[in-house]
Amino acid sequence: MIVDSLICSRLDRDGIEEIRAGGVDSVTVTCGFWEDATESLDSVVRWRELVTQNQDIAAIATTAAEMEEAQRDGRLAIVLGFQNSSFLQGRLGYVEAFADLGVRVAQLTYNIQNDVGGSCYDPTDSGLTRFGEEVVAEMNRHGMVIDLSHVGNRTSLDAVHASSLPVAATHANIFELVEHPRNAPLEVLKPLAERGGMIGLTTYHNLTRGFIATPSDWAEMVARSVDLLGIDCIGIGTDSNQRGTDEYREWMRKGRWSRRPQIGASPPPGVAPSQRPDWFTGPQDFSALGEALAGRGFSATERDQILGGNWMRFYTEVIDTQRESAPEWKV
């Protein structure tokens, strides 16, 4: 199984075909960044309709078993995820509602603090809030992956410890290798890895500065990541944005909350922009990642782990396990 643990593309049939052309078997898509509950519901419905309309080549997967079933059928498994918890709109009970609709991954925050916790761009990270603690427990109860990408370090560490199941950073690199607020430090990643969590190393050029010009540069970053954290927690989450428009990027950066410049993950004014690699232009080039790893001397077994095997172990543990407990009410 080849897994891309996060893309932010808005897909159509051509986009699905591009991902399949890269050899990817399962991909987590982004249903929303700042969208509220109704808009998030609209988005989930649109993604489900897209898959229904293209069911010869795609299937919504809500378990690791369904991802493997889709692969056997020659279809791309699509996992529904959110890059924020704004879809909850303050309602604890919406975790179950969106889980029932097929959502399996949710970040606790996007680029700014919310009622769950602090983001990676906030000068002071509050840590996980009281609501955040209940959200984590409820996501555990429904096998929804707790995604710590974009989340502040203190909130991330709180979530690693609060969660009864392994957690993930689906699209980030290691801060000690590439210093960027979006990348996660070992202080977070070591306890995450010790508890069975995952990091989806990204090809996104702004988070991969110094390790992206050539395939061997990127494979070197993966090798150093394995040295730092062990191989079992390492996967790939490209953060690909197929045919991303300026308007879409502006939405990601500002939502409806700002009238000021917001640069997102881009370098600040005065710092040279980082270059998009020509050897990895999108999911259609995913196979180049496997070749890069082979070139760096990773064995076939190791490549299988990094390219998807580790994610499948994680998904099986987090998503597939039937949880029976009723919601916890303490009045």
- How many CB atoms are closer than 10 A to CB 228? 15
* Shortest Å distance, C-beta 89 to a copy of itself: 6
> What mask, x for binding a copy of itself by CB under 8 A, covers residues 19 to 48?
---------------x-xx-----------
Residue type, 11: L
Write the CB contacts of 84 (distance below 8 Å, at least 6 apart in sequence).
32, 33, 34, 35, 106, 107, 109, 110, 114
- What is the C-alpha to C-alpha distance for residues 45 and 293, in angstroms, rounded to an integer? 37
Q: Determine, following the binding rule CB under 8 A, whether residue 115 of this chain makes contact with a copy of itself.
A: yes
Is the Cα torsion angle 159, 160, 166, 170 positive or negative in sign? positive
* Shortest Å distance, C-beta 330 to a copy of itself: 5
Number of residues in contact with a copy of itself under rule CB under 8 A = 37
Q: Determine, following the binding rule CB under 8 A, whether residue 130 of this chain makes contact with a copy of itself.
A: yes
Could you say which of 261, 268, 269, 270 contacts a copy of itself (CB under 8 A)? 261
Q: Determine, following the binding rule CB under 8 A, whether residue 264 of this chain makes contact with a copy of itself.
A: no
| Complex with a copy of itself: residue 263 or 300, whichever CB lies closer | 263
| Complex with a copy of itself: residue 39 or 304, whichever CB lies closer | 39
Cα 312 versus chain centre, distance? 14
**How far, in Å, are 70, 118, 121, 179, 205 from residue 261 at the CA level?**
42, 20, 14, 22, 21
Q: Determine, following the binding rule CB under 8 A, whether residue 96 of this chain makes contact with a copy of itself.
A: no
Six-digit token string for 165: 């199941």
- What is the C-alpha to C-alpha distance for residues 186 and 227, in angstroms, rounded to an integer? 12
Write the CB contacts of 171 (distance below 8 Å, at least 6 apart in sequence).
5, 6, 149, 200, 202, 204, 237, 238, 239
Footprint on residues 291-310 left by a copy of itself (CB under 8 A): none
Could you say which of 42, 126, 213, 279 contacts a copy of itself (CB under 8 A)? 126
Q: Which of these ranges, 108-116, 167-175, 234-242, 288-296, lies near a copy of itself under the rule CB under 8 A? A: 108-116
Site for a copy of itself, rule CB under 8 A? 34, 36-37, 86, 89-93, 112-115, 118, 121-127, 129-131, 134, 255-261, 327-331
